[in-house]
Amino acid sequence: MRHVMLDLYGCNPDLLADEAHLRRVLDEYPARIGMEKVSPVELRDIKTSNPLDDGYSGFVIIATSHVSLHAWPPYRMINIDIFSCNEFDEAEVITFACDMFETNDIEVQSVKRATRSPRPSSQLVSKVFV
């Protein structure tokens, strides 16, 4: 199991504020990393008491976990998390994010999770229906 967390800075604010673009990113990410999408994209326009903190939060469930994002156009920043029980190409995760938000200013954290899980690492997770 791997959890990759991306913090992208200096992003194109027009892309961060474009709901269709954010939906497209969430919709395309699973296939880009060899995962199966099992839910529609969920995206919310978040309004707070401080307009500088307004932004978007969204996710898509994949057969092996999820892809999520939190975008703040006023700060030109987005956070993207990809968590999966199966391995995926971390370099592709990073390249896709940088390309989609027109930045190379990125911090990456990659965490191996459930290191004591009894589940064999080669076992594929079956599709879950809600």
Cβ neighbourhood burial of 119 (10 Å; 0-12, 13-18, 19+):
exposed
Would you call 70 a catalytic residue per the annotation?
A: yes
Among 21, 57, 70, 98, the one annotated catalytic: 70
Would you call 65 a catalytic residue per the annotation?
A: yes
What does the alpha-carbon distance between residue 106 and residue 46 come to, in Å, rounded to a whole number? 23
Among 66, 68, 84, 85, the one annotated catalytic: 85
Among 65, 66, 68, 84, the one annotated catalytic: 65
Question: 112 - beta bridge partners?
Answer: 2
Tokens of 127: 């599709």
Which residues are designated catalytic?
A: 65, 70, 85
